[in-house]
Amino acid sequence: MAPPLIQLKDIRLTFGGTPLLSGVELSVSSGERVCLIGRNGSGKSTLLKIAAGLVEPDGGSRFVQPGATIRYLPQEPDFGDHKTTLAYVEAGLGPGDDHYQARYLVEQLGLSGDEDPVHVSGGEARRAALARVLAPSPDILLLDEPTNHLDLPTIEWLEGELASRRCALVIISHDRRFLSNLSRSTAWLDRGQIRQIDRGFSAFEAWRDEVLAEEERDQHKLDRKIVNEEHWLRYGVSGRRKRNVKRLGNLHALRDQRRNYRGATGNANLAAAEADKSGKLVIEAKNISKAYGDRKIVEGFSIRVQRGDRIGIVGPNGAGKTTLVHLLIGNDPPDSGSLRLGANIEMATLDQHRESLDPKSTLAEAMTGGRGDHVIVGDKPRHVIGYMKDFLFAQEQRGTPLEALSGGERGRLMLARALAKPSNLLVLDEPTNDLDLETLDVLEEMLGDYEGTVILISHDRDFLDRVVTSVIVPEGNGRWIEYAGGYTDMLAQRGEDLSREAPKAPATVEEKKEAKAAAPSAAPKRRLNFNEKHALDTLPKTIAKLQAEIAKQQKLLDDPDLYAKDRKKFDAASAAMAKAQEELSAAEDRWLELEVLREEIEQA
Quick one: which of 228, 218, 220, 221 has its CA closest to 251? Answer: 228
Q: How far apart are CA 468 and CA 305, in angstroms?
A: 13
- DSSP 3-state of 599: helix
Is residue 183 within 8 Å of residue 141, measured between CB atoms?
no
- Binding annotation: 38-45, 315-322
Binding site for ATP, residues? 38-45, 315-322
Q: Are 135 and 102 in contact (CB under 8 A)?
A: yes
DSSP letters, 32-56, are -EEEEE--TTSSHHHHHHHHHTSS-
- Phi and psi angles of residue 2, each rounded to the nearest 5 degrees, phi first: -65, 145
**DSSP secondary structure of 496-560:** S-TTSSS----SSHHHHHHHHHHHHHHSPPP---HHHHHHHHHHHHHHHHHHHHHHHHHHHHT-T
Cβ–Cβ under 8 Å, residues 525 and 604: yes
Alpha carbon 299 to its chain centroid, in Å, reads 31
- Under DSSP, the state recorded for 67 is T
Residue 217, judged by CB atoms within 10 A of its CB (0-12, 13-18, 19+), counts as exposed
Q: How many Cα atoms sit within 13 Å of 393 on the Cβ side?
A: 30
Considering only CA atoms, which of 110, 112, 113, 69 is closest in space to residue 89?
113
